[in-house]
Amino acid sequence: MIKNIVIFASGEGSNTQKIIDYFRSSEKVNISLIVSNKASANVLNRAKNNTIPTLVLDRDLFYKGNTLIEELKSMQTDLIVLAGFLWMIPEQLIKAFPNKIINIHPSLLPKFGGKGMYGTNVHKAVIASNEKESGITIHIVNEQYDEGKIIAQHACSISENETAESLGEKIHKLEYEYFPKAIEFFLSEK
Ligand code: GAR
């Protein structure tokens, strides 16, 4: 049976684009909805250009109500993919989808995870700590930020004159290559 994934993203959505492209003609995986907390996020344009339904979250409803959970359940959602989503996932959503929410983080967790650690902030912190390598982590989401079971990690080296920007590019390359495949593999195990 075809598996339905819902992507949550807050910004540019370049990872979302790669996921859309990867599963475009798949008979196994369907992207049923793209959710954002930000009405102006470019990821919503990407969804529209690919005729994928969108939903913009209302903060109060996201944290208090059951509406979203009911909607995701009624759509037979098999997996929720966080691709650069910056709001903390409420406990009731995690409980409603146990082991069915995965996140990508732009560092080798447990290093450089936790609150405030997203996007360029992560790369700046990695460089400031004189790390020799960084990378990406794909993990299951639990109630603690960036602490769920790790599904996959991929590393890259940091050169001597690395900047947050150049490291960000390296990280994105890893994400584009490995995130869609990790989603496919995770779904195939279910
Ligand atoms: C990605 O690099 C992702 O790893 C990161 O946000 C970026 C989104 O880029 N996520 C986090 O930092 C989560 N803590 P994109 O919108 O171009 O896909």
* Rounded Cα gap, residues 16 and 18, in angstroms: 5
Amino acid letter, residue 54: T
User: Nearest residue CA, atom 1 of ligand 1?
Assistant: 84
Summarised one tens digit per residue, pLDDT across range 92-150 is: 999 999 999 999 999 999 999 988 899 999 999 999 999 999 999 999 998 877 789 99
- Choose which residue among 86, 144, 175 to substitute to test ligand 1 binding: the one with the highest number of ligand atoms within 8 A of its C-beta: 175
User: Nearest residue CA, atom 9 of ligand 1?
Assistant: 84
Would residue 105 show up in a list of annotated catalytic residues for this protein?
Answer: yes
Nearest CA among 84, 90, 88, 51 for reference residue 72: 90
Atom of ligand 1 nearest to the CA of 43: 16
Nearest CA among 64, 59, 83 for reference residue 182: 83
Domains, the chain, in order of start with CATH, read 1-98 (3.40.50.170), 104-190 (3.40.50.170)
Nearest CA among 39, 40, 15 for reference residue 176: 15
152 strand-pairing partners: 138
**For 12, which DSSP code?**
-
pTM recorded for the entire structure: 0.97
Write down the pLDDT at residue 146: 77
